[in-house]
Amino acid sequence: MFLGTVGRVVLLLSVGAGAVRPSDVKPARQVEPIGQTRVRLQRAVDRLCSTPLDNLELVLADVSLQMKRRFTEYSGDISGRMLGALNAAAPLLGRKPAILDQLAARLPQYQKPDGHFGADQDFPHIVRNRDMPILWGNGRLLLAMAERCRDRPDPRLLASARKLGDYLIAVRRYFGKDENYERLEGPGGLGFATCYPSVIDGLVALGEVTGESRFYEEAQFIARLALRDKDIYGRHSHGRLVAFRGMLDLDRLTGRREFIDAVQTHYARIEREWLFPTGGVPEYFRKKYPRDEGCSVADWIRVSFLLWQATGRTAYLDAAAHTLRNHLLPMQFCNGGFGHGMFRTLTAGEKHYPRGAVGHVGAEAYWCCSMHGTQLLADAVRWAVLRSGSHFFVTWLAEAKATTRLDGRAMTISVQNGGCGEWQVTVEAEQPIDSTLHLRVPGWASSIRVDGKPLPSVNGWATVSRRWEGKTTLRVAFSDGIRLAGPYAAAVQSGEPVRVFAASDLFCLPEIAVDDDLLEPDSVPTVIVAKDRPTNGRIPVLVESPKGERQRAALVPIKDRPRGGAWYLFHVRKVDPAEFARLAESAKPPRQPGQFVEMEFACDGTFQLFFNGKQIHGQQAWWDGPQVEAYTSQPTNVVAILVRTRAKRPGLIGLIRVGDRTYVTRPKDWSAAPAPKRLTAEWLTDPSHGASQTVPLQDLGPLGVPPWEYVPGEFLGTGAHWIWPQTKASPREQRWLLRFVFKVQ
């Protein structure tokens, strides 16, 4: 059990006659994902092994500088993250991607004589837009190289990592000046506040693998300097949380407690001021910032776990589990990647609730979040079952099978989720083994039952001690009753919206579950509930409009929601089953969602994307192709894109995924006409309307042609081409309507 704590005292894990520091509890040596955890991790690794990341030259472009793609100035960022993520995840799945060994072999050849990777530098002159990205990318690369050498010794790669560490020590005289922290830039990812501290975790990892204290000492210096930036408002959350991770690693590996208190202070502020209802964090630490970042969400989970290791407070494990289950997993894209989601502020009366719903548009960040999220999923597998001697700690962070040896005898512990609030823990031992299982009891749980019998929870843990022999399966159950929580904290306030939970799952109302005209998208919806607990993982509800109209629907765990937007803040009205049945008789039937459609487009200038007459997205960027999610019940469907641009050589590229079909931009399949001043419904829904005004489209080539090069890399290898109407270049603004028709059976 955990003993009380005051200030800097570490809560100890009491194990009978002795006690163990949480930092001494380690993962099993052999572990593999099972169940849905394996499915999720498999999808994530598949994403890293598909286009464009299966192109070795594109991945290495941030160190080779031989291909123009996105973020090559962040030297080592993509290449390092790929090395780190695949090194962490692929072995758990028994996979050996060729690109993993290729990266380890080729990275050192691009190292500069002074030890850094990337563009040449001319110290003592610091050029912000050149040198800050180099620091960031080199930090990600150093961490990955050190982790690779820790797991698979590689003298050549380790020599390269050590040389990079020496570079970071040498450039202290330029980057480590006090004045750099006296004139910090504001919010943004390129300043000293973000990029210099991001090397801490890599230096610490290098110190661990080499045993050389000088790398710890340099990390300590940078960490102290970073904490001079006391107000993290507006800071880039990924950069700040990466630094916190490095500080916690440093304290853990050196046995000191220099930085834990500072990290806890900042953590508490983030939790209090900026945390999403889902447990995620915004890309920038601002109250109303509408976008998350998969990297930052993964960092938050990791920092939460590390704070548990540092302090023993199980509330940090609760936070890690909440964010993992109710934010990171729900935001995994169809292709297995991670990235950015767009969230909406909801209103209730005169009050506003930032990030109270997730939208139907996101942007997979294949250049960072897809790797960072994959590595977090892999580490969650390792954190599922932890060990200290004959004591094993089950955290419920993942479904996993851990194999270890105790007194020379083999023992396997498998942890699998059986549904809402239900888990199975299977222990296999060929010979008798005396050991104790410690089962985490989350703070939200009113009880824990093992094989139907209640067990006491002491400071967040319940114990099962016995002699294990053969195969034993424990059926663990937590209360799965519906419970309500406030929008951002556990306490429910009168008149405030609430979140709906059952066990560890946050429940949501998918947008596709109700008719388009029933609710205001940016208002807190009202749901009528009769059940006390979910039925088959769903909570039947009546959704009530402001006009009193009702529709039958169901709340579902957000991690299992159908793709598209969803609400997760509600006004909840509880009625008895008889009243619910009476109201349901006059309610609209549940909506049938139809066929899921995912679209990605990039275009010069500003464009508006319409689907069957309804605008579903607007954008001003050719370098990014976000995922736009929609549904259709129509056999014939029209995609229309209204473009305004002054680019000298404009182009449009994109794709549409429907079931197992992918439609890509090619001149023969699309039509184009000058956009009318007034865009009527006929233009957006009838492909024959304005046919006499159409002009031929020209094929400008696939991804890789200038001026776009390989920047919107998500289209590499898809068959999509840049297209544009055949017109003469004009300095005036061009307005075009491009249309495409596809059928759904």
Residue 637, SS3 per DSSP: strand
pLDDT tens-digit map of 426-474: 999 999 999 999 999 999 997 899 999 999 998 899 999 999 999 999 9
Q: What is the pLDDT of residues 625-646, one digit of tens each?
A: 999 999 999 999 999 999 999 9
Q: 155-162: which pairs have CB atoms within 8 A and are 24 or more residues apart?
A: 156/108, 157/104, 157/107, 157/108, 158/209, 158/210, 159/108, 160/107, 160/108, 160/111, 161/206, 161/209, 162/206, 162/210, 162/212
pLDDT tens column, 331-384:
999 999 999 999 999 999 999 999 999 999 999 999 999 999 999 999 999 999
What would the pLDDT profile of 664-691 be if each residue is shown by its tens digit?
999 999 999 999 999 999 999 998 999 9
The pLDDT score that the predictor gives to residue 272 is 97
373 touches 89 (CB < 8 A): no
pLDDT at residue number 402 = 98
Q: What is the pLDDT of residue 186?
A: 47
Whether pLDDT at 17 is above 70: no
- Residue 10, classed as helix, strand or coil, is coil
Instruction: State pLDDT tens for residues 256-301.
Output: 999 999 999 999 999 999 999 999 999 999 999 999 999 999 999 9
Q: Write down the pLDDT at residue 185.
A: 53
State mean pLDDT over 182-191. Answer: 54
Condensed to tens digits (0 to 9), the pLDDT of residues 532-588 reads: 999 999 999 999 999 999 999 999 999 999 999 999 999 999 999 999 999 999 999
Average pLDDT, the chain: 94
* Whole-number Å distance between alpha carbons of 726 and 703: 19
Write a three-state SS string for 421-463.
CEEEEEEEEEEEEEEEEEEECCCCCCCEEECCEECCCECCEEE
Residue 7: predicted pLDDT: 41
Give the rounded distance of the alpha carbon of 501 from its chain centre: 21
Cα–Cα distance between 117 and 60 in angstroms, integer?
A: 11
pLDDT tens digits, one per residue of 478-488: 998 999 999 99
Asked if the model's pLDDT at residue 195 lies above 70, the reply is yes
Report the C-alpha gap between 673 and 680 in whole angstroms.
Answer: 14
Over residues 22-66, the pLDDT tens digits come to 878 999 989 999 999 999 999 999 999 999 999 999 999 999 999
316 pLDDT exceeds 50? yes
Q: What is the pLDDT of residue 154?
A: 98
Q: What Å distances lie between residue 690 and 212, 636, 693, 726, 727, CA to CA? A: 72, 18, 5, 17, 18
Placement of tokens 């996979």 in the chain: 95
Number of residues written out for the chain: 745
Lowest mean pLDDT among 231-235, 354-358, 434-438, 720-724: 231-235
Tell me the angle at which helices 237-254 and 213-226 cross, rounded to the nearest 10 degrees.
Answer: 140
How far lies 237's CA from each of 149, 227, 270, 320, in Å? 28, 15, 10, 16
CA dihedral 364, 621, 193, 246 (to 10 degrees): 10
Cα distance between residue 301 and residue 317, in whole Å: 9
Mean pLDDT is lowest, of 20-24, 170-174, 187-191, 210-214, for 187-191
Question: Is the distance from CB of 553 to CB of 513 less than 8 angstroms?
Answer: yes
**Which 3 state secondary structure label does DSSP give 309?**
helix
What pLDDT score does 435 carry?
95
* First-residue to last-residue Cα distance in the chain: 59
How crowded is residue 112: how many other Cβ atoms within 10 Å of its Cβ? 17
Mean pLDDT of 689-695: 93
| Cα–Cα distance, 656 to 714 (Å, whole number) | 13
| 142 pLDDT more than 90 | yes
Task: Please count the CA atoms within 13 angstroms of the CA of 65 that sit on its side-chain side.
Answer: 12
pLDDT of residue 11: 57
Q: Where are the domains of the chain?
A: 482-585, 595-743
| 495 pLDDT tier (thresholds 50, 70, 90) | very high
Q: Tell me what pLDDT residue 3 has.
A: 29
Assess contact for 121 and 131: CB atoms under 8 A. Answer: yes
Examine the pLDDT at 8 and tell me if it is beyond 90: no
pLDDT at site 1: 27
pLDDT of res. 474 = 98
Q: What is the pLDDT of residue 19?
A: 61
Does residue 731 have a pLDDT over 80? no
Percent over 90 (pLDDT), the chain: 91
The reported pLDDT for the residue numbered 4 is: 32
3 state DSSP class of 716: coil
How far apart CA 426 and CA 491 sit, in angstroms, is 36
pLDDT value, residue 9:
44
Give yes or no for residue 190 having a pLDDT over 90. Answer: no
Q: Tell me what pLDDT residue 182 has.
A: 73
High-pLDDT (> 70) share of the chain, %: 96
Averaged pLDDT, 133-150: 98
